[in-house]
Amino acid sequence: MHPFSYTRVSNTREALDAGRGGGRYIAGGTTLVDLMRETVERPETLVDITGLPLSEITVTERGGLRIGALVTMSEAAANRKVRTTYPVVSEALELSASAQLRNMATIGGNIMQRTRCTYFRDVTADCNKREPGSGCAALHGVNRTHAILGTSDACVATHPSDVAVAFAALEARVHLLGPDGTRQVPFVDFLLRPGSTPQHEQALRRGELITTVEIPALPRPLRSGYLKVRDRQSYEFALTSAAVALHVRGGVIRQAKVAAGGVGTVPWKLPAVEQHLVGERPSESLWAAAAERAADGARPLQHNRFKVELLKRTVERQLRVVGGTK
């Protein structure tokens, strides 16, 4: 591990000053410390933000939810409001990592986590994300777990977060505080596709702090849920996943919010699937026809062609579960 200095801040002003000076925020430390041990990350200054007042979950005026960046994954998953309003969020969290990690890890840290691509974490391998211009060992290497959507010639790594898939589906917004004040970014624009610059992963400016993630109010009744398909039943990242929320009134689907995980370089919103559902009556044939659109535009690699079919089946199954025709 490279030498670094450590400072603990007690208010946002101190945090922003330290961030502007090049300090790296640390919350639960469950992923940043790993990367520092592996020398993938080499920050010179760590700014411990766990003393900031960002640990609340509040209901917005319109009936949405704001989850503080420092709320732990287990607190968010157990929160009554989250569980009753957006089960897709609590399910995605409960299917993530392990209980011990969820007790330490925060919502802000979760959406900021970096890819699990093994070449990224192996400092002897070529990796454009870790070392721009060095190449991508995964393109012609072992790429079974890599992305089939949103890839580029520079990088094919997936974004590993589960709850980010739920946030993308629900069209959440990320609230940021920086030296120039506050701003909001739609969740689907917050995480960046690799393009030719895979080292740029989030729409964060220097020193900006995530303060909350806001989930907008959605019409009631809203049924939602998360399905995660992986190589083993616990403590594993997704091969594919589906976050689904449906508002059905008078026997007709009025709103559909769908996103997939484990398949995209970012959580993958599925507008073609959503459009196929809206205005229709729930049925087995509808789920199957809508899910056919889930892999539109997919560019599978040598070892992950299976993800195309697996993705469609994952989405179809979760539509059936949430839509209530199982």
Ligand X SMILES: Cc1cc2nc3c(=O)[nH]c(=O)nc-3n(C[C@H](O)[C@H](O)[C@H](O)COP(=O)(O)OP(=O)(O)OC[C@H]3O[C@@H](n4cnc5c(N)ncnc54)[C@H](O)[C@@H]3O)c2cc1C
Name the DSSP class of 157.
P
Q: Are strands 252-261 and 240-249 parallel, antiparallel or unpaired?
A: antiparallel
Query: 304 with 146: CB under 8 angstroms?
Result: yes
224 binds ligand SF4 (CB under 6 A): no
Stretch that binds ligand X, among 144-152, 155-163, 190-198, 262-270 (CB under 6 A): 155-163
- C-alpha to C-alpha distance for 283 and 251, rounded to whole angstroms: 10
The total of other beta-carbon atoms located within 10 Å of residue 310's CB is: 18
119 binds ligand SF4 (CB under 6 A): yes
User: For the window 108-147, what string marks contact with ligand X as x by the rule CB under 6 A?
Assistant: xxx-xx----------------------------------
Quick one: 35 or 78, whose CB is closer to ligand SF4? 35
User: Closest by alpha carbon to 121, among 197, 14, 36, 55?
Assistant: 36
- The token pair at 270 is 């599925």
Residues 20-39 that bind ligand X (CB under 6 A): 24-32, 34
Query: 159 with 115: CB under 8 angstroms?
Result: yes
226 binds ligand SF4 (CB under 6 A): no
- The token pair at 219 is 């019409």
74 binds ligand X (CB under 6 A): no
By CB under 6 A, name the one of 117, 258, 273, 322 that touches ligand SF4.
117
User: Closest by alpha carbon to 71, among 26, 25, 30, 106?
Assistant: 106
Residues that bind ligand X (CB under 6 A): 24-32, 34, 49, 69, 73, 96-97, 101, 104-106, 108-110, 112-113, 160-163, 209-210, 237
Residues that bind ligand SF4 (CB under 6 A): 115, 117, 119-120, 127-129, 136-138, 155-157, 198
